[in-house]
Copies of this chain bind each other. A is one copy, B any other.
Amino acid sequence: MTQERAVRTRRAILEAAAITFDRRGYEAATITEILKEAGVTKGALYFHFPSKEALADAVLAEPAKEFVVPARQIKIQELIDTALVHAYRVRTNPLVRASVRLSLDQRAEGIDRTGPFLRWRETALTLLSESKDRHELLAHIDPAESADIYVGTFAGLQSMSHVLDNYAHLEERISVLQRHLMPAICVPAVLAQLDFTPTLGERLAQQAITEPAEALAT
């Protein structure tokens, strides 16, 4: 198996697992179904993933391969960018969406679902701490406390969007969320300059896809 083919096979298995977990729930999903969905042999699957738990861990780790947003003059804008890009990916990328649902699957008892929360909290904490150092945040703000709230509220709007309208308005909701949280976090001069446009995530994600190709063309 060439390196490139191995990467493709691993990817196909991961997507099949995500789709199967999403459709059946983690507990009910079987390796046999995942094999059928992926169209690979049992040997190929076990070469990459020793167990259903290992598959779930890999699916859960997927959105952490985060799109790194471009640097901004105002650091806290990068947190908003990250949230809006993630919202766009949840709405449009089946693997990211399946991962999010798995992290909220109350029946997935054998696997560690704290990972995505803790990872997002770490990302939020880093950006909030840097913003604080740059005096973008109000003096009394505790970055750890705000990171906790930021991640929990994001997760909630995701769940609600899933239940109410299958994520159709997720980016609008995440945009409105920023407008509800940032006045409590940022100094007024920074607040006035923030960009909360709901389509910001899509624009940034598209740039990331198209830019390398453009770089080649020039």
Tell me the bound Cα distance from A148 to B161 in angstroms. Answer: 10
Does the CB pair B152–A156 fall under 8 Å?
A: yes
Q: Is A106 an interface residue (CB 8 A)?
A: yes
B113 and A163 contacting across the interface, CB-CB below 8 Å: yes
Question: Could you tell me the distance in whole angstroms from the C-beta of A89 to the nearest C-beta in chain B?
Answer: 18
* A115 nearest CB across to chain B (Å): 10
Interface range on chain A (Cβ under 8 Å from partner): 35 or more
**Interface majority SS on A: helix, strand, loop or mixed?**
helix
How many protomers of this protein does the assembly include? 2
Interface residues of A in 73-127 (CB under 8 A from B): 101, 103-107, 113-114, 117-118
Known contacts A152-B173, A156-B153, A156-B154, A164 near B114 by CB under 8 Å: yes
Residue of B nearest to A102 (CB): B106
Does chain B have a CB within 8 A of A211? Answer: no
**Is A180's CB within 8 Å of the partner chain B?**
yes
- Which residues of A from 145 to 174 have beta carbons under 8 Å from B? 145-146, 148-149, 151-164, 173
Cα A159 to Cα B181 with chains together (Å): 19
CA distance in complex: A106, B146 (Å): 28
Inter-subunit contact B173/A148 (CB<8 Å): yes
Residues 171-200 of A, flagged 1 when their CB comes within 8 A of B and 0 if not, give 001001101111111000000000000000
Closest B-chain residue to A162, C-beta based? Answer: B106
A-B contact pairs, 7 of them (CB 8 A): A25-B27, A149-B176, A151-B160, A152-B156, A153-B177, A179-B184, A180-B185
